[in-house]
Structure 1
Amino acid sequence: MADLAQVVQPCTTPINLSRRLVAVGSITRRDGRTTTVRATEAGVTGTITPTAPTDKVWSIRELDHLFQTHGGTVTVTAATATTVTLTLTAPNGRVVSTDWDPAAELHGLRLPVYRAYIKRHCGGAR
């Protein structure tokens, strides 16, 4: 183990007093709750809210069926080189997602759930 006197050295870098930290915060999701904490010059604030559970469906067709029957907002929550995770947030607060491989399921590009995403985020249907 190294001697701490050798590891910890006094700071020789000049401190720029014109720059300062304005706020710091954290978000933690645990046990079905989302906890947020924010500290500013005015004080510390925080919230604890229930985290909406996300249901998974097997295919983009199932997600499309839910979208057509219940409506909601469609977002892409993750994307890799081959897979897109589409998430539907229904008006009642239910969150449903599916992993979709556009190369394997080209028909998904024509489904209303995907068109709604394109219209909302890209400015028009394609």
Structure 2
Amino acid sequence: MNHRIAAALTLTSHPTARTLLATRVRRALGLRGTLQIQRGETPTRVTVWDIHTLQNVYARVGGELTLAQATRTVSDGTKYTVIETTLTTQLPGLALAQITTDWDPTTEVDGYALPVIRDYTTAGARRG
């Protein structure tokens, strides 16, 4: 039944250049279940759920990682600090894409063992 609904939507909706680019970028990144632009995203700036998903994208397409401390606020006004983790990669024939997620190293200690984080810290150690 769902395939019939999807087919009907495809026939009646007209994708824009923006949504087509978003779909192509997400597919190139290996993000199959998230082909629509979510709030706060652009066709080439994608937010993923966690550091492990970011690692999967890194393993697939590579790229350069940047980390920045950020403060977030939950709906009740409580603030907390995370590391905004952004992977920038050139997707051949498409665009420069940014994949971002929040990472809390105090609760997600296993993130330090992921190649995307290890490669970042190793490169930083060589620069310093």
Give TM-score, length-normalised by structure 1.
Answer: 0.52
Question: Unpaired segments of 5 or more residues in structure 2?
Answer: 1-41, 72-79
Greater fraction strand = 1
Deviations 1:45-103 (A, max 9, x none): xxxxxx98421001000000000111110111434574101100112211100000011
Question: Which residue of the partner structure matches residue 83 of structure 2?
Answer: 84
Residue-pair matches, total:
74
Q: Which amino acid letter does the alignment assign opposite residue 113 of structure 2? A: R
Whether the 8 Å contact between 1:74 and 1:113 is mirrored in structure 2 is yes
In structure 2, the CA distance between the partners of 1:94 and 1:106, relative to structure 1 (3 Å rule), is same
Which of 64, 88, 97 is the aligned partner of 1:73? 64
Whether the 8 Å contact between 2:69 and 2:81 is mirrored in structure 1 is no
Q: Which amino acid letter does the alignment assign opposite residue 94 of structure 1? A: A
Runs (4 or more) in structure 1 with deviation over 4 Å come to none
1:116 aligns with 2:116: no
Whether the 8 Å contact between 2:86 and 2:99 is mirrored in structure 1 is yes
Q: Which amino acid letter does the alignment assign opposite residue 96 of structure 1? A: I
Bigger relative contact order (CA 8 A; separation at least 6): 2
In structure 2, the CA distance between the partners of 1:118 and 1:66, relative to structure 1 (3 Å rule), is same
Q: Which amino acid letter does the alignment assign opposite residue 85 of structure 2? A: L
CA RMSD of aligned residues (A): 2.2
Separation of aligned partners in 2, 1:52 and 1:123? 34
Give TM-score, length-normalised by structure 2.
Answer: 0.51
Identity %: 35
Larger Rg: 1 or 2? 1
Residue correspondence of structure 1 range 24-63 to structure 2 within 5 A: 53-63=44-54
Separation of aligned partners in 1, 2:43 and 2:89? 11
